[in-house]
Structure 1
Amino acid sequence: MNFFQRKFSEQDIVEGIRLGGTKRQGFENKLYENYRYLIKDATYKHKLSEEDASMAYSDTILTVIEHIGSGRFEQRSSLKTYVYLIFYNKCVDALRKISTNNKMSQSLDTVLEPLRDPQRSVILEIIRKQDHEKLSRLLKTLGDRCQELLSRWAEGFTDKESAIEYGYSSAAVAQTTRLRCLDKLKEMYGK
């Protein structure tokens, strides 16, 4: 039976990832695809944007793969339950992060509120320019692949086009890589 047509059980996926070898990536992709519906679920239940939900899901799958490979996943619960619990916690983390960023944005508005319009515009333009310079500087500290993926994304290229350009196995892998790069950039920007 063809590897891509066969329906794998949770046990098959866990064993395939644990054993490693040439088929490991295929099992990792199956794991990713099996629970991908959680992204849509998070946009509805947690009111996350699709991008934030995708990032949380990608982090979840990478964490689960790491846990399976290291033996930390002991199969005391089903793989589906394990993925869901980690994903739920990643969504909560994303919501906290969004909430913190909103509070910081509101505090800037509060500071600028008493200023007249021309002064406020000048200050906002200075902040935008400094932000752009900081982003450019931080982008240069990321690896070449991250710079290229983020630049292509900013220019409007799709993840599918990037997957073809860089030889990724699917658009989902390119998206996961891009979102990790973006997350790394956001983290560095916040420091």
Structure 2
Amino acid sequence: MRFFSRSPADSDLIAGLKADGLQRRKAEDELYLKYQYLIADGQRKHRLDEDDCASAYSDTVISVIENIRGGRFEGKSGLSTYIYQIFSNKCIDLIRKKSSQRGQVHQALSLDDLLLQLPDSARSIIQQLTDESEIVRLRSLLNTLGDKCRDILLAMGEGYSDEEIARQMQYNSAAVAKTSRLRCMERLKNLYK
């Protein structure tokens, strides 16, 4: 007799996401893994790189979980249709954001262009001050994210893999650690702007 691993039905996933504790975490992992193929789909259909698609997918999973738990998912469509639509919208938002940022880049002189106009001695002093200022700012922003996000991002910066981070921080899987890491990185990017 053979046993086949079947993916969880939508109703089982939704019930698990509405639960608490271990059952909820397991359902979150299953949801993340069940629709993870959307990352490659987004790369192909929207011509985004893997990191952008993974970030959009993580945001999608978080939104879907919040919508299910908050009662905003009414079940009028299948879960796959619902998650696909949210993911597609997030990818389109990324494309729009990148397009508008490209236009802004060409309007201002960069710091590097301005530094090139200075003598070598002044340039190296200003570059050193700028680097030190950025390090101080980054440390300050990391502290505002909270302990978990700070620890995840510092571990990533030290070269730890998502699997190692999951073990070290007691996450259920590397996928959960990756979702948390991408969410923390997005929060840091937004604060850094």
TM-score interval w.r.t. the shorter chain?
0.7 to 0.9
Distance change (3 Å), C-alpha of 1:130 and 1:43: farther
What's the TM-score once normalised by structure 1's chain length? 0.83
**1:157 alignment partner in structure 2:** 160
Q: How far is 1:171 from its partner?
A: 0.6
Aligned residue identity for 2:143: K
Shift of 1:168: 0.4
TM-score when normalising by structure 2:
0.82
Letter in 2 for 1:45: K
Whole-Å separation in 2 of the counterparts to 1:83 and 1:41 = 13
Q: Could you tell me which residue of structure 2 aligns to residue 91 of structure 1?
A: 91
For residues 65-120 of structure 1, give each alpha carbon's deviation from its aligned partner in whole angstroms, at most 9, with x where no partner exists: 1111222111111111100000011112222333343334333447865x684539
Percentage of pairs with the same residue: 40
Unaligned runs of 5+ in 1: none
Contact 1:17 1:65 in 2 (8 A): yes
1:24-103 to 2 correspondence within 5 Å? Answer: 24-103=24-103
Matched, 1:178 2:172: no
Taking the aligned partners of 1:110 and 1:135, their CA distance within structure 2 comes to 20
User: CA 1:129/1:109 → structure 2, altered by over 3 Å: closer, same or farther?
Assistant: farther
Match of residue 118 from structure 2: 119
2:13 counterpart residue number: 13
Query: Which structure 2 segments of 5+ residues have no match?
Result: none
Give the 3 Å change call, closer, same or farther, for CA 148–53 of structure 1 in structure 2: same
For these two proteins, the number of residue pairs brought into alignment is 186
Query: Which one scores higher on RCO, CA 8 angstroms, separation ≥ 6?
Result: 2
